[in-house]
């Protein structure tokens, strides 16, 4: 059977990973500054993670959500401790899109409303509701276009207030730092005003931390810098270091009811084991601090390269904006110098999304080859 051909593929086949590197079968070594699209948080095949997952699969890999699974509560408690956000409940699912889809559904249940506000350049996933609030018409089918959605400019609280005043908006969904969109971040005033307006007009505020969360920005959640408290926080990517797991943290103002959300696979034993191991390692290896420290290191090195016009992002969610389109440079870094990097909808932006336990030496390797490639 042929595979359904939706991915333009690089002719590279990694078969094993170790820390910040992946290897093909000829043992060619690739430096992973892309983290499989911001997914690899604690490094490839971290020994403690491998032990946790293999121990769990030997014991019990899966049972359904119709029985007690104490690992879910252990994960929730650990998440509260490591993230520092209090008084939320956790619902577990399998991916970022599913997390956001559940967030929108819950907001609609809670408010009895059906309209959702999203922002320019937003990316929230590809399932029905979340692709409708994603700023890319090319990936919306006619079916997806049936949702009640309003797109606004990022950082425009006047337009936002005008819409929210009608008191018919279920949710405002935002990424604190836009990932796919190109690492834009609005001002603290914007997030604070948005939060206050949502409270005033009874709208649920959803922070999509699928990409920026889990320590990637040097804070556990990117919104924490702006001192707001979203009603719902969606998570995925770094949460399982590659094991498919996602979730939403739900403020206590939103009441659960049996059956309002549900999933077969979400929160299964293996997913929880992966999630707990990731949090243990983030805490033990102080990966938030590593992300903060390395941003400064990268910024200083990038400032010495004249073709880089701007360094965007925070922590290890970094965008290097060049004065030319980077598609060719990205290919050269990969095929000549064996370094994985990412792209964005901004064609001049090279995205750096490495494992959070990456070291300065890895960036030295990167900047050396970048300088060669730019000559």
Contacts to ligand PLP by CB under 6 A: 95-97, 100, 123-125, 175, 179-180, 208, 210-211, 236
Least distance between ligand PLP and beta carbon 133 (Å): 10
Name the H helices within the chain. 35-38, 47-59, 70-83, 96-111, 128-132, 157-164, 188-200, 269-284, 287-303, 327-335, 360-374
CB of 46 to ligand PLP, least distance (A): 20
Shortest Cβ 243–ligand PLP spacing (Å) = 12
Q: How far is the CB of 75 from ligand PLP (least distance, A)?
A: 18
State the nearest-atom distance from the C-beta of 100 to ligand PLP, in Å: 6
Nearer to ligand PLP, 277 or 353 (CB): 353
Indicate the burial class of 361 (C-beta count within 10 angstroms; 0-12, 13-18, 19 or more).
Answer: exposed
> In whole angstroms, how close is the CB of 85 to ligand PLP at the nearest point?
18
Residues 145 and 202: beta-carbon distance below 8 Å = no
At closest approach, how far in Å is the CB of 122 from ligand PLP?
A: 8
> What tokens appear for 145 in the block?
């276009």
Q: Which residue, 180 or 233, has its beta carbon nearer to ligand PLP?
A: 180
Residue 97 vs 233, nearer CB to ligand PLP? 97
9: left (phi over 0), alpha (psi -120 to 50) or beta: beta
Query: Is 183 or 370 the residue whose CB approaches ligand PLP more closely?
Result: 183
Closer Cβ to ligand PLP, 136 or 286, answer by number: 136
Nearer to ligand PLP, 185 or 201 (CB): 185
Phi-psi region of 134 (alpha: psi -120 to 50; beta: other; left: phi over 0): beta
Strand pairing class (246-251; 339-340): unpaired
Q: In the β-sheet with 88-93, what is the strand arrangement from edge to edge?
A: 88-93, 246-251, 232-235, 204-208, 169-174, 115-119, 149-152
Residue among 211 and 224 whose Cβ is closer to ligand PLP = 211
Distance CA 366, CA 372 (A): 10
Q: How far apart, in whole angstroms, are the C-alpha atoms of residue 235 and residue 225?
A: 17
Encoding tokens for residue 167?
């008191």
What residue number has its CB nearest to ligand PLP? Answer: 96
């Amino acid at each position: 059977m042929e595979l359904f051909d939706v991915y333009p593929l690089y002719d590279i086949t990694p078969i094993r990973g170790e820390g910040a590197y992946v290897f093909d079968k000829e043992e060619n070594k690739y430096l992973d500054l892309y983290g499989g699209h911001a997914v690899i948080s604690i490094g490839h095949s971290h020994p403690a993670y491998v032990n946790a997952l293999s121990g769990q699969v030997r014991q019990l890999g899966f049972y359904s959500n119709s029985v007690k699974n104490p690992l879910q509560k252990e994960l929730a408690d650990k998440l509260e401790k490591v993230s520092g956000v209090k008084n939320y409940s956790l619902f577990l699912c399998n991916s970022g899109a599913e997390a956001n889809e559940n967030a929108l559904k819950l907001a609609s249940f809670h408010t009895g409303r059906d309209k959702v506000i999203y922002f320019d350049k937003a990316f929230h996933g590809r399932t029905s509701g979340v692709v409708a609030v994603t700023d890319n018409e090319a990936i919306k089918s006619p079916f997806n276009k049936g949702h009640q959605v309003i797109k606004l400019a990022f950082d425009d609280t006047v337009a936002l207030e005008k819409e929210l005043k009608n008191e018919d908006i279920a949710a405002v969904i935002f990424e604190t730092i836009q990932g796919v969109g190109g690492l834009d971040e609005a001002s603290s005033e914007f997030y604070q005003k948005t939060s206050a307006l949502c409270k005033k007009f009874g709208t649920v505020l959803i922070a999509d931390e699928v990409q920026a969360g889990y320590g990637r920005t040097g804070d556990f959640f990117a919104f924490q810098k702006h001192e707001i408290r979203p009603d719902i926080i969606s998570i995925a990517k770094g949460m399982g270091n590659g094991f498919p797991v996602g979730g939403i943290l739900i403020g206590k103002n939103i009441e659960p009811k049996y059956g309002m959300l549900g999933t077969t696979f979400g929160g299964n034993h293996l997913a929880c084991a992966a999630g707990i191991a990731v949090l243990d390692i983030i805490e033990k290896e102080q990966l938030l601090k590593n992300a903060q420290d390395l941003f400064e290191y990268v910024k200083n090195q990038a400032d010495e390269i004249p073709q880089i016009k701007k360094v965007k992002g925070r922590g290890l969610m970094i965008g290097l904006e060049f004065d030319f389109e980077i598609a060719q440079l990205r290919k050269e870094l990969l095929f000549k110098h064996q370094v994985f990097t990412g792209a964005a909808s901004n064609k001049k932006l090279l995205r750096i999304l490495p494992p959070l336990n990456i070291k300065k030496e890895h960036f030295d390797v990167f900047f050396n080859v970048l300088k060669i490639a730019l000559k």
